[in-house]
Structure 1
Amino acid sequence: MKYIKLRELEVSRIGLGAMGMSHGYTDSGTDEAESIRTLHRALELGVTFIDTAEIYGPYTNEELLGRALKGRRDQVVLASKFGMISHAGAGPWNLDSSPANIRTAVEGSLKRLGTDHIDLYYQHRVDPNTPIEETAGAVAELVAEGKVRAFGLSEAGPDTIRRAHAVHPVTAVQSEYSLWTRGLEERVRPVLRELNIGLVPFAPLGHGFLTGKIRSTDDFKEGDFRYGNPRFTGENFQRNLRLADEVQAIAAEAGATPAQVALAWLLAQGDDIAPIPGTKRVHRVEENTAADGIELTAEQLDKLSSLPPAAGETHTEAGRQMLER
């Protein structure tokens, strides 16, 4: 495994998103033992960058990581997120990045994770009701107190990134970025490079679509992120299957799996990128981390970069309202 710097934070080139172990997909939360084996196998393979959030569950994903990482905390750069639970009464899925809410959130996350500090603490979504300067100031206080090492933003736009960074350095921005979600390349990516802010792509495999394993939506149940998602329904789904087939063809050429090709393309976009493919299965974490050794040719990279954008929006209307791309 290679390692890179997200600003001052050294992380494995490929991380692990833990969300799906507890939240977001049809079978989430059904096999804690396998999830813990997956986390331990990731550490054995040199993965040091593990991502969670208080909203995943809610709360149960952080609790799972707390159990899995007991006695291994010093092997991990641990990232979590605040701001999608209003602890003052409105509850989950209500944006609140006020300083008081951040204080409550961080204490809960530290307890659940069984640690005295969070290495990278992200604002999960931009809160339109709290000036980003106040949010950044609150996290800066946590950094000064040693409860947080670094400050991050998720799905933030250029103006928010600049304003936050002016108050306290932003170490990383986490946003959806993959072969089929490339909207940040034009507006956000140049700002990150200008300010020396790392990029952490989530859903680098298109919520599983780019693996080539999803050929039908029949198995998605209500509560699965993909159930009713515009990219996974109707004509959009059929059009996007053709995109997955193109990735499969290049994978056959490269002697790799489609997932490895999708990750290798991302890694080729710069040495300031650390994708966090999510899985709860040992064989998948082995497959994903092996992408670090895949070298695509210039022609293969060009073919992949020239693929058409995916059909359909990445989120439902309610989800899109929380994005600042």
Structure 2
Amino acid sequence: MDEKTIRREPARVRLGHSDLVVRPIGLGLMGMSQYYGTADPEASVATIQSAIDLGVDLLDTSDYYGASNAAPGRPVQGFGHNEGLLGRALKGRREKVVVATKFSARPTPEGRSVFDGRPEYVKAACEASLRRLDTDRIDLYYYHRLDPTVPVEETVGAMAELVAEGKVRALGLSEVDPGILRRAAATHPITALQSEYSLWERGVEDEILPECRRLGITFVPYSPLGRGVLAGRFRRGATFDIEDIRSTLPRFQGENFENNMRLVDALGEFGEARQCTPGQVALAWLLAQPYDIVPIPGAKRMAYIQENFRATSVPLSADDLAYLARLFDPAHVKGSRFGTVNAPRR
């Protein structure tokens, strides 16, 4: 390997200023409960256990995963479903992993969701998550989406009390701007910020990533494979079932999708020339960025988890990184990242 080649070995990395240490690629579990079609619960539990045995040690869930569906009127798994899956999978394996979950998106009887950052709800949500996960502590507890009616200092203050009580080890935020991030960090140390980031979604690069670096916060990209498109899962003209959230997202529609697939085709050619998959290239590109980054690609099948795990051994030169950044320049990607589905999408 020449001096210009950047490679990140699968050594463990520390999350922020905490004592939590994980491998460079985690696993997002949301798709096992909602948004990407149906999944068999027993198969999901077995897959999570196999992932842990493989060495995946950052597992990401939320109390909300299972409470929503991309298709209005379709049956849903139920609030807390995903945490329940993880709780079952952790039996006999709890000490091998860092468990990350989230709160704030609360479903209403009308089928909507509201974001609740009140201190009393923070504590009630944590207790419920602990029961579903069948554990005595949450390693990384995220404020999933901001409640605009409650100052972030009050919400994070309540989360800090959970740390003091030993129920939570470290705190995280999701999808917040730099100002909110600074206010939260001034209230209690923030270990991780989770937002969307990938070759085809670069909105965090200008302000969020530099602010994370300044504050010593690890950035955890969700949808690092662009909801599967960067993994080469689809072909031009693909359509998505009404139960699949991609059926509502502008980047997966019509001319936008056709344009974006041309970029993905070029990514596939790049990977093929290097004997790796496009998804492995996309993850390796993230790992090679000059920030503390731990992506959490989602997967339902063990074969995909193994493929993603091997991305840590994909070498990319400085020229490779520059080429990929130019290929997926934000001006080249057509369509906004969200449609009209009632949040949160992750």
Q: TM-score range, shorter-chain basis?
A: over 0.9
Q: Which residue of 2 aligns with 1:52?
A: 61
Q: Report whether the alignment pairs 1:186 with 2:186.
A: no
Q: Retained in 2: the 8 A contact 1:84–1:92? A: no
Across the aligned residues of Structure 1 and Structure 2, the Cα RMSD in angstroms comes to 1.8
Q: d(CA) in 2 for partners of 1:279 and 1:217?
A: 23
Q: d(CA) in 1 for partners of 2:154 and 2:110?
A: 20
* Candidates 151, 154, 157, aligned match of 1:134: 154
The one-letter amino acid paired with 1:17 is G
* Candidates 5, 12, 17, aligned match of 2:23: 12
Aligned residue runs from structure 1 range 1-325, under 5 A: 1-7=10-16, 8=18, 9-27=20-38, 30-57=39-66, 58-85=79-106, 93-215=113-235, 219-270=239-290, 272-307=292-327, 308-309=329-330, 310-317=333-340
Q: Retained in 2: the 8 A contact 1:217–1:232? A: no
Give the superposition deviation at 1:311.
Answer: 1.0
Q: What residue ranges of structure 1 are gaps of 5+ in the alignment? A: none
Q: d(CA) in 2 for partners of 1:271 and 1:294?
A: 18
Give the superposition deviation at 1:177.
Answer: 0.3
Q: Retained in 2: the 8 A contact 1:263–1:291? A: yes
SS at match of 1:186: coil
Q: Retained in 1: the 8 A contact 2:236–2:261? A: no
SS at match of 1:37: helix
Give the superposition deviation at 1:92.
Answer: 5.8
Cα deviation, 1:131-188, whole Å, max 9, x if unaligned, reads: 0000110000000001110010001100000000000001000000000000100011
SS at match of 1:227: helix
The one-letter amino acid paired with 1:19 is M
Question: Structure 1 residues 298 and 144 mapped into 2: Cα distance closer, same or farther (>3 Å)?
Answer: same
Q: TM-score, normalised by structure 1?
A: 0.94
Percent identity between matched residues is 49
The one-letter amino acid paired with 1:117 is R
The one-letter amino acid paired with 2:13 is I
Give the superposition deviation at 1:230.
Answer: 0.6
Cα deviation, 1:251-298, whole Å, max 9, x if unaligned, reads: 012210011000000000136110000001010001000001111122
Q: d(CA) in 2 for partners of 1:90 and 1:154?
A: 25
Q: d(CA) in 2 for partners of 1:282 and 1:48?
A: 15
Give the superposition deviation at 1:226.
Answer: 0.6
Q: d(CA) in 2 for partners of 1:133 and 1:92?
A: 26
Give the superposition deviation at 1:219.
Answer: 4.7
SS at match of 2:193: strand
Q: What residue ranges of structure 2 are gaps of 5+ in the alignment? A: 1-9, 67-78
Question: Structure 1 residues 319 and 272 mapped into 2: Cα distance closer, same or farther (>3 Å)?
Answer: farther
Q: d(CA) in 1 for partners of 2:262 and 2:238?
A: 18
Q: d(CA) in 1 for partners of 2:340 and 2:245?
A: 13
Give the superposition deviation at 1:225.
Answer: 1.5
Q: Retained in 1: the 8 A contact 2:113–2:342? A: no
Moved over 4 A (4+): 89-92, 216-219, 317-320
Give the superposition deviation at 1:249.
Answer: 1.4
Q: Retained in 2: the 8 A contact 1:254–1:296? A: no
The one-letter amino acid paired with 1:284 is Y
The one-letter amino acid paired with 2:254 is G
Q: TM-score, normalised by structure 2?
A: 0.88
Give the superposition deviation at 1:80.
Answer: 0.2
Q: d(CA) in 2 for partners of 1:96 and 1:268?
A: 36
Which has the larger displacement, 296-305 or 125-134?
296-305
Give the superposition deviation at 1:218.
Answer: 5.0
SS at match of 2:207: helix
